[in-house]
């Protein structure tokens, strides 16, 4: 009973503190994400007041937070829109991989690390954080913007690529060799194709089993289905986030509309827990030695993400402000980068990789939401207008 009491005290105090931080951030026009991360650093390992009793609870809540963020994104779009956007964004996805994976690999080789560490750091710098970006788009009210489908297409391509990359890099780090890596990759490909077919071809039948007249039943049905599919996807070594996104895509019509309204408060709750957990897992004492290298890597790869978003939005005829919004929104790295770094640490590839990856992700996650707000400021809009009108 004592453990449960401490758990309730820690979770209650943490949620109350997050509520106050969110209110303070919005009062000054700031995204609450960096504040949640800093709260995690303050209460994590090596912080001011570590939370021991609630750590496991927060870890599970963080996983649910990522799943709900991706589910809510999927509910905004239909299966036909997903397929069309993926086809249109395929060139941008290729550019994204080249511009953002190669700097990570090159940086690892410059540090004298081996090719396996280079493969890992390439993945860390390549993939953006779907969870963080989903929260940014929601906080800034941009879910209905013209550039948002472009952003989501790039994110989905990255997440699908992670469904292939993670089994491959896991096999490589485990020393399974070429045959083991090919087997893991084959399972991942088959799993993703199966989930896509079910989501696109049979989504309307899934929606027909759910009724919008009973909010409680709808909440339990959608949440249960999402967690189940995400768990199965993770078991098959496909991203749980991809599974949750595809559930959102599969649900349509009134079911999707009412599910969005019912699940929004849950998403906000568990999304905050996700960002706190990220900070909790980081020891502030590990940051100073790798801060400058991580900062240099972050500057380069964040600039590459802006180029990626610019290129992707330009291809579909979006104007300059939308191109900038797309590029700036894609900068944060997050959950996948942490997972990839964790795989490397567990295999003992390179001791310096974990603190470098943590500092790198924290820099992009803290600065990304702040920089994503730039296109909303009047002075920035005026600057862009001047540049576009004077351009030849």
Per-residue pLDDT tens over the stretch 231-243: 887 776 666 777 7
Higher pLDDT, 164 or 299: 299
Task: Classify 351 as helix, strand or coil.
Answer: coil
For residue 338, name the pLDDT band (cuts at 50, 70, 90). confident
pLDDT tens for each residue of 304-316: 999 999 998 888 8
Range scoring the smallest mean pLDDT among 11-25, 119-133, 245-259: 245-259
For position 391, what pLDDT does the model report? 52
For residue 386, name the pLDDT band (cuts at 50, 70, 90). confident
pLDDT tens for each residue of 365-378: 888 888 888 888 88
Find out whether 54 and 4 touch, Cβ atoms under 8 Å. no
For position 104, what pLDDT does the model report? 93
Tell me the Ramachandran region of residue 251: left when phi exceeds 0, alpha when psi lies from -120 to 50, beta otherwise: beta
Higher pLDDT, 151 or 26: 151
For position 295, what pLDDT does the model report? 94
Residue 138, pLDDT above cutoff 70: yes
For position 110, what pLDDT does the model report? 92
Q: For the domain with range 2-375, which CATH number is right: 1.20.1530.20, 3.40.50.300, 3.90.1150.10, 1.10.274.10?
A: 1.20.1530.20
Range scoring the smallest mean pLDDT among 62-71, 185-194, 257-266: 185-194
Find out whether 18 and 275 touch, Cβ atoms under 8 Å. no
For residue 354, name the pLDDT band (cuts at 50, 70, 90). confident
- Of 153, 123, 226, 242, nearest to 191 (Cα)? 242
Mean pLDDT value across the chain? 80
- What does 293-314 look like in DSSP terms, one character per residue? HHHHHHHHHHHHHHHHHHHHHH
- The residue assigned the tokens 């104007």 is 319
Higher pLDDT, 196 or 64: 64
Over range 66-88, report the average pLDDT.
73
For residue 24, name the pLDDT band (cuts at 50, 70, 90). confident
Q: What does the alpha-carbon distance between residue 71 and residue 67 come to, in Å, rounded to a whole number?
A: 6
Angle at 330 between CA 181 and CA 187, to 5 degrees: 20
Over range 337-350, report the average pLDDT.
73
pLDDT tens for each residue of 159-169: 777 767 777 77
% pLDDT > 90, the chain: 13
Residue 41, pLDDT above cutoff 90: no
Q: What does the alpha-carbon distance between residue 275 and residue 365 come to, in Å, rounded to a whole number?
A: 9
For position 303, what pLDDT does the model report? 95
Range scoring the smallest mean pLDDT among 43-47, 280-284, 371-375: 43-47
For position 175, what pLDDT does the model report? 67
Half-sphere exposure of 166 (CA within 13 A, CB side): 29
For position 90, what pLDDT does the model report? 79
Residue 392, pLDDT above cutoff 60: no
For position 66, what pLDDT does the model report? 78
Over range 171-194, report the average pLDDT.
68
Over range 355-370, report the average pLDDT.
85
Angle at 120 between CA 169 and CA 50, to 5 degrees: 105
Over range 186-213, report the average pLDDT.
72
Over range 126-144, report the average pLDDT.
83
Over range 248-276, report the average pLDDT.
83
Over range 1-26, report the average pLDDT.
81
| Helix (H), strand (E) at residue 65 | helix 55-75
Residue 131, pLDDT above cutoff 80: no
Distances (CA, A) of 6 to 12, 59, 61, 278, 281: 10, 17, 17, 21, 20
Residue 204, pLDDT above cutoff 80: no
Higher pLDDT, 279 or 10: 10
């Amino acid at each position: 009973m004592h453990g449960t009491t401490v758990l309730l005290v820690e979770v209650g105090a943490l949620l109350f503190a997050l509520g106050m931080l969110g209110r303070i951030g919005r009062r000054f026009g700031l995204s609450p994400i960096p504040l949640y991360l800093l709260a995690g650093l303050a209460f994590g390992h090596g912080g001011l007041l570590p939370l021991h009793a609630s750590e496991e609870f927060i870890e599970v809540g963080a996983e649910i937070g990522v799943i709900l963020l991706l589910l809510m994104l999927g509910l905004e779009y239909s299966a036909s829109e997903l397929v069309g956007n993926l086809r249109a964004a395929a060139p941008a996805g290729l550019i994204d991989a080249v511009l953002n994976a190669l700097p990570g690999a090159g940086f690892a080789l410059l540090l004298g690390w081996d090719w396996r560490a280079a493969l890992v750091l390439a993945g860390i710098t390549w993939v953006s954080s779907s969870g963080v970006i989903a929260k940014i788009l929601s906080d800034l009210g941009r879910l209905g913007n013209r550039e948002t489908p472009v952003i989501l297409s790039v994110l989905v391509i990255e997440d699908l690529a992670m469904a292939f990359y993670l089994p491959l890099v896991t096999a490589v780090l485990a020393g399974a060799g070429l045959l083991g890596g090919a087997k893991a990759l084959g399972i991942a490909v088959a799993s993703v194709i199966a989930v896509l077919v079910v989501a696109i071809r049979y989504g309307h039948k899934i929606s027909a089993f759910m009724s919008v007249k009973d909010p409680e039943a709808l909440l339990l049905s959608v949440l249960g289905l999402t967690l189940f599919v995400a768990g199965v996807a993770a078991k098959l070594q496909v991203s749980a986030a991809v599974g949750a996104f595809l559930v959102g895509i599969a649900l349509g019509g009134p079911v999707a509309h009412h599910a969005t309204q019912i699940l929004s408060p849950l998403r906000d709750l568990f999304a905050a827990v996700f960002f706190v957990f990220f900070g909790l897992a980081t020891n502030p004492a590990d940051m100073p030695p790798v801060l400058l290298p991580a900062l240099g890597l972050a500057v380069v790869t964040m600039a590459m993400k802006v180029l990626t978003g610019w290129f992707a939005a330009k291809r579909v005829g979006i104007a300059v402000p939308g191109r900038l919004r797309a590029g700036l929104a894609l900068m944060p790295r997050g959950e996948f980068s942490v997972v990839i770094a964790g795989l490397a640490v567990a295999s003992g590839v390179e001791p310096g990789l974990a603190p470098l990856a943590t500092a790198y992700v924290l820099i992009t996650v803290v600065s990304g939401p702040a920089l994503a707000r730039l296109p909303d400021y009047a002075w920035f809009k005026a600057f862009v207008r001047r540049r576009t009108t004077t351009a030849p």
